[in-house]
Amino acid sequence: MYNGIGLQTARGSGTNGYVQANKFFVRPKTGKVIVDNKGFESGQGTAGLTKKPNKEILEHDRKRQIQLKLVVLEDKLIDQGFTDAEIAEKLDEARRTIEATSLSEEAGGPTTIVISDKK
């Protein structure tokens, strides 16, 4: 027993008698309730700063979207029975087209993508 806490003796208890503090015990707060009627003003809590998106992350996401479109196109071409050489040629052409349109999209240009996969 330590400061009146714990077992008088560890004999027969199945433990070693070591007493630990309960670190997860949450003590109740005082009964005071603070009422704040002001609310938040616009921009409060941001210290006047707006966080801009990371360009590297946006570029990586753009490349992932392009690759996803190319994989879908490749699956369609394989299902249609194109040879490997034809598929590689069409994928190169589609990659150039998609990259050009995505770059013009960032610059504010037209955003239409047309990919023909007919024989």
Summarize pLDDT for 6-26 with one digit per residue, the tens.
Answer: 777 878 888 887 878 888 888
3 inside domain: no
103 inside domain: yes
Q: Which residues form the domain of 75? A: 55-107
Q: Which residues contact residue 1 at a Cβ distance below 8 angstroms, ignoring those fewer than 6 apart?
A: 7, 8
Q: Specify the pLDDT at position 68.
A: 95
pTM of this prediction?
A: 0.49
112 inside domain: no
23 inside domain: no
Asked if the model's pLDDT at residue 40 lies above 90, the reply is: no
- Cross-strand pairs, 5: 2
117 inside domain: no
Q: Specify the pLDDT at position 30.
A: 75
- 33-47, 66-80, 82-96: least confidently modelled range: 33-47
- Cross-strand pairs, 2: 5
Amino acid sitting at position 87: I
For residue 87, give the H/E element and its range: helix 84-107
67 inside domain: yes
Distance CA 60, CA 3 (A): 61
28 inside domain: no
Domain tally for the chain? 1
Share of the chain above pLDDT 70, in %: 73
Mean pLDDT, rounded, of the chain:
81
